[in-house]
Amino acid sequence: MRRPGIALLVVLGSFAMPSAAPAQAPLLTPSQFAAIDAVYVAFAPFQDGATSAERATARAACTALGSADALRSTLRRACFAQLGIGQALGQSERCKGRRPCLLGARAVRRALTDYLAFSRAANRAVVELGLTSACSRELRRSAGELLYITRMRSLFVQLERALRVGSRRLADSAQRRLKALRAPDSRSVEQTREDFRAGCAPPG
């Protein structure tokens, strides 16, 4: 899954001192930057399907985000939720029979719900930091991405309901609509990483 970003408020200087220069927006610390950059690197193979070793590398990158501050902690949860979506989608795509496919659809729906919750929490953490607009845009999940995930979740709710009642017509309809969904960000993982590095790299 691609990870776009969003915009944020820039902190201005005090109106009580009109002659003072505007306050500088804070930057990511070197450790924050390195941990987030490692996630981009780890997720790059997922564009073409990832091996078990590559998935393990991605899990390690998510873990390495740690919980030293609110930003890293919320991004770590969103990172694991993103991995959970991929795992659940694989389970859903490989299922055979109504019961296994019902469980697969339910797993995807729950993973998407987790991703939405943790992504919104991460967005709030980014906003509270008051980073530069370029960096904030890359760190935050865009409204378009969250809408895309919300629509996907709604369709998996429909698929889950169709499988529960045994309606082939409703299940086929939900699956057709899922195939028609298009992600709002067409950038490759490599490009999103370049944009992140350009917008968020600390000096030096």
Residue 167 lies in a domain: no
Owning domain of residue 38: 30-141
Per the structure, the count of domains in the chain is 1
Residue 38 lies in a domain: yes
Q: Which residues contact 11 (CB under 8 A, 6 or more apart)?
A: 22, 23, 25, 130
Residue 84 lies in a domain: yes
d(CA 101, CA 179): 17
Check if the beta carbon of residue 40 is closer than 8 Å to that of residue 189.
yes
Residue 47 lies in a domain: yes
Q: Which residue has the tokens 């299922």?
A: 95
Q: Give the tens place of pLDDT for each residue, 119-157.
A: 999 999 999 999 999 999 999 999 999 999 999 999 999
Amino acid of residue 144: G
Residue 184 lies in a domain: no
Residue 166 lies in a domain: no
pLDDT tens, position by position, for the chain (204 residues)?
Answer: 334 333 322 222 223 333 343 456 778 999 999 999 999 999 888 766 778 898 899 999 999 999 999 999 999 999 999 999 988 998 898 999 999 999 999 999 999 999 999 999 999 999 999 999 999 999 999 999 999 999 999 999 999 999 999 999 999 999 999 999 988 877 888 899 999 999 999 986
Residue 93 lies in a domain: yes
